[in-house]
Each structure stands twice: as C-alpha cells, then as structure tokens.
Amino acid sequence: MQITYERVHELFRYDGKNLIRKVTVNANAQKGSVAGSISNETYRYITVDKIQCLAHRLIWMYHYGYYPENGIDHINRNKTDNRIENLREVSQSCNVRNSGNYKTNTSNVKGVYFFKTDQMWMARIRLADKHHYLGESKDFNEAVLMRYAAEQCLGWESCDKMSPAHEYALKNKLVSK
C-alpha cells in the first residue's frame, strides 16, 4: 500500500511546524495531537496505515502533492524543524554536505583539522567517499580559506547553506558577503 496525497490530507492538517491529527487512531494518537514521535532526539516518525514515515517527507507531500524521490534536507540542520521553508528536496550527496561538524572536530570548521605531529592546520574535503588534501598552514585562517575556496570551486554553496568555513570567514572578515 502506498500513502497518497489525499490520505495525508484526510488524516492530518499542517500547522506550519507539525502534522496535527484530524482523527483519533488509538490512545496514543488522539485527534488534535501532534502526529508521531521523535526517535533518539533526531527525526520525527509518523505511522500511517502501518507504514512508518519520516514526518518531514509527509509534510513535503502535504505541501507539494508528491512524495519526494530524493532526500529532504533540513536547511538549518535542525532535524526536528519541519517548517516547509526549512525543507528542500536535494540529492543525497547535497544532503550530506549540509551536515554539521563531527563531534570530534575541535576547530569548529568542517574539513579543517589540527595535525599535532606537524603543528599545522590541515584542510581537506570529502568527495565521492574519499578525502582530498587541500593544503596545510600554521595559520588557522589560511586553512579555513583553503577549505572555503574548495567548496566554492565545487559549487557547494547551493548545498551547504551554513558552511562552517564560510560562516567563520564572514565572522572574522576574511571574506565579504
């Protein structure tokens, strides 16, 4: 069974943030309640006709009339922010680019790492599941600019709206808007 646009509209209304139930399904899914639950503090999941769906994909369908074939990206990287203006249909590779830093990243700029043995900042970028070395410098700002330049050369600004390299370069007046 496939979920349709009509079925989503039959079961839910959209309040600008969440899908709200129009009908009571069971004791845990009452009419008027926010549909679904958040799993492990990440995405909201909603069960429709025994099919578990990501809320942001159902919201996309509710708003645009079709279930997205590609990934749905949360532009601001907040996986629970399901406002339609925060969602966009993108390729998987673009969706991955608009991810935050790894928890182990101490520079707060994606792709810029301190290499302790050489006491240098290294810049790299990941393409097609391979890391590509961009250069290294004793100057952190220079390493950030290497990363940012590579992102621009690859046209990533359309994917990574909140590039940590771009944000750092703007904040520290290394580049202009």
pTM above 0.85, yes or no: no
Distance CA 140, CA 111 (A): 12
3-state DSSP assignment of residue 139: coil
pLDDT band at 40 (very low <50, low <70, confident <90, very high): confident
- Parallel, antiparallel, or unpaired: how do β-strands 12-14 and 87-90 relate? unpaired
Q: Which residue, among 73, 133, 131, 69, has the nearest Cα to 97 in the 3D structure? A: 73
pLDDT of residue 161: 65
pLDDT band at 25 (very low <50, low <70, confident <90, very high): confident
Residue 152 CB neighbour total at 10 angstroms: 14
Q: Which of 29-38, 152-161, 165-174 has the lowest mean pLDDT?
A: 152-161
* More reliable by pLDDT, 58 or 25: 58
Write down all domains in the chain, each with its CATH number in brackets.
5-90 (3.90.75.20), 100-171 (3.30.730)
**For residue 137, what are the β-bridge partners?**
121
| Per-residue pLDDT tens over the stretch 103-143 | 788 899 999 999 999 999 999 998 878 889 999 999 999 99
For the chain, percent of residues with pLDDT exceeding 70: 98
Task: Pull the structure tokens for residue 125.
Answer: 């970028």
pLDDT of residue 7: 95
